[in-house]
Structure 1
Amino acid sequence: MDRIRRLEYFVRAVELGSLSAAAREAGSSQPTLSKAVAALERELGVRLLERSTTSLAPTDTGRRFYERAKRVLEEWDESVAAARGLTEQPAGLLRVSAPVGLGEMHLNGWVLDFLAEYPDIEVELILDDRQVDLVEAGMELALRLGGPLPQQIIARRVAASARPLVAAPEFLARYPTLREPQDLARLPYLRYAWLQSGDQLELSNGADGQRETVTVRGRYLVNSSLAIREGLRRGIGVGIAPTWLIQDLLDTGELVLALPDWVATPHQMHFLYPSRRYQPLRVRVFMDFLASRITRTAGFTI
């Protein structure tokens, strides 16, 4: 078995924390990967992995070797791509992670347009609102909206989306006392579940920079931005929503600004990717394609 294949097996075993998982990903068997790593250890004359019946972890030497082996594989992939002409003609499988609401409302359409323009590229789009470990999941790219960015990942800011306080006109007709942020504490509030801030809503006044924190309450929490959109449209409550999610409803008047001067912190959109050193052409053209679409989409600003 060649050295490159052994390095690939070793690197993925470390990243996935399991020889079995690395074998499944490679379409091979656990004994095959175990023999490959053992052969690599014999060749180097060192122990790279500590194995038990339930876990696998690199030794100190293995961790140092992993970092160098990963760089070798990146250089190898780049050399292969250049030799095959892939640096001039984007091709291959691109695995992308993105939030569910953004994916269903916008990203799916952008990807379909991208596929039509680049017939040699395949896209596997995984929609998940959880923070996915790009290396472990084998993703080349992720789109993220708001929230803290993971460490040891390269981030490229693409756009921002304002987050106003909105409600259906009929909701505001039922609650005409909504005049300032503290009034929200007495009204039905619709929000995303699992927020780190919980029921604490932080707002700022764009006119004078004043800030307010309000404890809000509601009968309905849901972990879906599309469900939030529908609940706001149907007058279930008042809530904060990014304009990428509800700009069309604002344009038609189905939603209106509840407190026009008060907004939450804008959502920042980032592209995330595991490595700066080597980035296949398919990833670069996909990011450029999406960036051009995002900045032309209502609800996003540069």
Structure 2
Amino acid sequence: MDRIDDIALFLRVLDLGSISAAARSLDLSPALASQRLQRLEQALGVRLLHRSTRRLHATPEGAVLAEQGRVLVEDLETLTGGLRQAGTEVAGNLRVTTSASFGRQYVSPLLPEFLERHPAIRLSIDLDDREQDLVSAGYDVAIRIGALDDSSLVARRLATNRRVLCASPAYLRRRGVPDAPEDLARHDCVLLVGSRGRQDLWHLGDGRGGRTTVRVRGRFESNYGEVLRDAVVAGFGIAMHSVWHVCDDLRAGRLQVVLPGHPIADTGIHALMPQRRLVPLRVRAFVDFLAERFGENPPWEARNE
């Protein structure tokens, strides 16, 4: 098992960016960790790591070992863990990434309960709106919202992502309430910008079972949903928002739905996992837990009933 343990140490160094951080996470001394990495390089006959000014990076040979070795290490951990614990205990390091707003509002409040259920779990959660590569970044699970790109990742739908157009009552009194999608062209619209560009094409129901597309514009745009929400509440215009993001504002009357008869197509909230032959128990437990909590009637929808 020494070789597998050394590969696991190498992967931890890549995930955390330094030998000392990896050593601390595994309760090793930095000197012993360095010796084990040297032993692995000598056994393989290649250099696996090179140092930049701030972090250690994989060499081309190290990148190959990271890609293929991670699957082997995780499969072995899952297999031996399942045999040792008879599938009754969920344990190990769990690394999760999720969008900042959704993670703060809905995932973070659930984490104490999850950790109480599984005291042998060590959890690291990253709130980041960037869509990072799960395999190269070493994540076990990503919670992503919206349409999914084709990929080799495994996706499990956790909840429906219902979206609405909304604006503040003050804005609608000042500028008027749109009666049809084409009316949006004369309104200020608050736009999301990001990795997929400026989202200024809004696809709405046409009221007859079909869809219509409207190009919108406005004075305000941002890549961060909280900023857009603040702008709409302040009366800067009309925005497209997920209901989970603005449900409290809708309930309190700070925002109201615009063009409710022209609905936007739903997307999904998904848990994404790297393609694996054996899904680790810790990953399965976390995804099952979120699916249980969000379910068919997620909390943001229940608040609006």
TM-score range, shorter chain: 0.7 to 0.9
Say which SS state the counterpart of residue 241 (structure 1) adopts. Answer: strand
Task: Supply the distance in 1 between the matched residues of 2:131 and 2:51 (Cα, whole angstroms).
Answer: 29
What's 2:27 paired with? none
Aligned to 1:26: 22
Displacement, 1:130?
Answer: 0.3
Q: Tell me the residue number matched to 1:58.
A: 61
Give yes or no for contact 2:165–2:241 (8 Å, CA) kept in 1: yes
Residue 51 of structure 1, CA deviation: 7.9
Of 102-111 and 4-13, the range deviating more from structure 2? 4-13
Residue deviations 1:36-89, cap 9 Å, x none?
3432324xxxx6869899972139xx95x7766444323321233135417312
**C-alpha separation in 2, matches of 1:89 and 1:55:** 33
Gaps of 5+ in 2: 24-29
Match status 1:217 vs 2:220: no
Match of 1:108 in 2: 108
Unaligned runs of 5+ in 1: none
1:132 maps onto 2:135 in alignment: no
C-alpha spacing 1:136/1:55, structure 2 compared with 1 (3 Å): closer
Alpha-carbon distance in structure 1 between the residues aligned to 2:181 and 2:139: 41
Alignment deviations for residues 155-185 of structure 1 (CA, whole Å, 9 cap, x no partner):
1122211111111122111122622222222
Aligned counterparts of 1:50 and 1:180: Cα–Cα separation in 2: 59
Cα RMSD of the aligned pairs, angstroms, is: 3.3
Where 1:193 maps in the other structure, the secondary structure is: strand
Structure 2 distance, partners of 1:260, 1:219, is: 24
- How does 1:146-295 map onto structure 2 within 5 Å? 146-149=146-149, 151-176=151-176, 178-194=178-194, 196-205=196-205, 207-295=207-295
Measured in 2, the distance between the counterparts of 1:80 and 1:22 equals 27
Shift, 1:106, TM fit: 1.2
Counterpart residue type for residue 139 of structure 1: Y
**Higher mean C-alpha deviation, range 286-295 or range 69-78:** 69-78
Does the 8 Å contact 2:94/2:282 carry over to 1?
yes
Normalised by the size of structure 1, how large is the TM-score? Answer: 0.81
Bigger mean CA deviation after superposition, 27-36 or 95-104: 27-36
Pairwise CA distance, 1:32: 4.1
Question: How far did 1:129 drift?
Answer: 0.3
| Greater displacement, 246-255 / 236-245 | 246-255
Distance across 1 between alignment mates of 2:123 and 2:10: 26
TM-score (norm 2): 0.80
Distance 1:52 1:127, change over 3 A: closer
| Counterpart contact for 2:94–2:283, Cα < 8 Å | yes
> 1:22 deviation in Å?
6.6
Relative to structure 2, which stretch is displaced further, 2-11 or 263-272? Answer: 2-11
Contact 2:190–2:236 under 8 Å retained in 1: yes
- Structure 1 distance, partners of 2:8, 2:121, is 23
- How many residue pairs were aligned? 290
Q: Are the counterparts in 1 of residues 90 and 118 from structure 2 also a CA contact under 8 Å?
A: yes
> Using a 3 Å threshold, how does the CA distance of structure 1 residues 66 and 195 change in structure 2: closer, same or farther?
closer
Q: Percent identity?
A: 29
Secondary structure of 2:254's aligned partner: coil
Change (3 A) 1:93 1:150: farther
- Name the residue aligned to 2:298: 297
Matches of 2:125 and 2:49, distance apart in 1: 34
Deviates more, 1:266-275 or 1:201-210: 201-210
Residues 75 and 278, structure 1, Cα contact 8 Å, conserved in 2: yes
Equivalent-residue separation in structure 1 for 2:125 and 2:12 (angstroms): 21
Specify the code of the residue in structure 1 equivalent to 2:290: L
Q: Deviations over 1:211-242 (max 9, x none)?
A: 33222222221222222222222222111001
